[in-house]
Amino acid sequence: MLNVKSVQAAKAKEKEYMLADGRSGLFLRVLPSGGKSWIYRYTLPDGRRRKMAIGQHPELSLSDARAKHAELVKFVLKGQDPAAPPAPEIVPEQTTVADLITLYLAGSGHLSPKTLAENKRTLEKYVLPIIGQRPVKEIRRSDAITLVERYTDTPGQARAIMKIARAMFTWALHREYVDFNPFSHVVAAVPAIKARSKTRALSDEEIKHVWQALLTENDPRSLSTRRALMTILVTGQRPEEVTSSTLEEIAVGVKNKPICKTCRRCGWWTIPWQRIKTRNRREENHRVYLSAPALEIISDIQAGPIYPNARGTALARHSLSHYVDDHKCWGLEKWTPHDLRRTAATGLSRLGCPDEVIDAILNHAKKGIIGVYNQNRYDAEKEKWLTAWSEHLIRLLEINN
């Protein structure tokens, strides 16, 4: 950490350099001229690295720079860029869809950084170019239908556009920027984008085929992707919650000590509620039992994201789908990463696992009055049945652990 004396003692050199104030992202920049200024470096949820000037020294003291830096950090934690231009002033009759997108993103601090980044990407790529310059008051359902119909060749993408745009206009409706939501009930008008119930679960022979394909590929660029797919199958967790996991969320052994190289018989993975799909309804962490095969998958990870991309940040969930599609599902009938989660649930049921325990493993919310009064977290049952599932996979795949 910097202190007043070290800041004052920083001397000019032939080239500009920077002194870090710990690991907070706050830096003192020293120019060859002797001038000093405060710089904040930060990384946005989409992986972009940015920096912005905070102020000059000595006009802005170390304590004042830290206070200003703390305020800027709050923006980044909400997924917002503190260097972005301020939100436009609201004049309802003049507000365009582009203005609404800016306002909506700025007012979506309750969303996770990952969700916020995806919403921003979708709105700016698909909505902004088509209706961005039109006043929000003029957008009708026919405009929404026309927009969504442009992407019906990829129903999943069209559905995502419709859902995110609908959420934005719902927010605008609550703020009284608009009088109705033009993206509501669009599915009824565009049935091609209606979500279909999925029932695909891999058979034992298909599991063995896919697992061997994942093990035998040697390309180091796909290592994280292959490990994530294996983890989904072994644990039954959601793909997006697997890809964004970090080593700090995992404890190994009965004493919950940090992960180490000598104790890998079992462990627990605690998924923070902020990363869970149901976070808007339940602020509850989810505990996942990690059997020996699950731990073996990540045995050489030392710190940070368990499934890093080439930049060292967490792997994107859609990378899994692209990888499976690129490999043509290894010659099998079409399947997706989420189908591995369904495969695990189906396999547990075939082994005799009760439905309520499967729901607990999958982190499905309890329904009705049971959800109010049954507060059992089923940790013992999770350990029993995920161990049984892992043993089934070991017998099936002939894995030497």
Q: Is the pLDDT of residue 48 over 80?
A: no
Q: Is the pLDDT of residue 330 over 90?
A: yes
Percent of the chain with pLDDT over 90: 53
Q: Is the pLDDT of residue 372 over 90?
A: no
Percent of the chain with pLDDT over 70: 91
pLDDT attached to residue 208: 94
Q: Which of 77-86, 295-304, 310-319 has the lowest mean pLDDT?
A: 77-86
- pLDDT, one tens digit per residue, over 388-399 is 999 999 998 875
pLDDT attached to residue 87: 57
Q: Is the pLDDT of residue 258 over 60?
A: no
Q: Side-chain half-sphere of 40: how many Cα atoms within 13 Å?
A: 23
Q: Are the beta carbons of 279 and 112 closer than 8 angstroms?
A: yes
pLDDT attached to residue 400: 44
pLDDT: which is higher, 156 or 86: 156
Domains delineated in the chain: 4-77 (3.30.160.390), 97-193 (1.10.150.130), 204-397 (1.10.443.10)
Span 112-127, average pLDDT: 88
Mean pLDDT across the chain: 87
- pLDDT, one tens digit per residue, over 15-28 is 889 999 987 889 99
Span 263-285, average pLDDT: 76
Cα(281)–Cα(23) distance, integer angstroms: 34
pLDDT attached to residue 256: 46
Cα(145)–Cα(125) distance, integer angstroms: 17
Q: Is the pLDDT of residue 170 over 50?
A: yes
Span 169-185, average pLDDT: 91
pLDDT: which is higher, 128 or 196: 128
pLDDT attached to residue 263: 46
**With a threshold of 0.75, does the pTM exceed it?**
no
Q: Is the pLDDT of residue 70 over 80?
A: yes
pLDDT attached to residue 260: 46
Q: Is the pLDDT of residue 253 over 70?
A: no
The helix or strand, by DSSP H or E, that contains position 162, with its residue range, turns out to be helix 155-174
Which long-range contacts (C-beta less than 8 Å, at least 24 apart) are formed by 40-47?
A: 40/69, 40/72, 40/82, 42/72, 42/73, 42/76, 42/82, 43/76, 43/313, 44/76, 44/79, 44/81, 44/117, 45/79, 45/113, 45/114, 45/116, 45/117, 46/117, 46/120, 46/121, 47/311, 47/313
Cα(82)–Cα(68) distance, integer angstroms: 11
SS3 37: strand
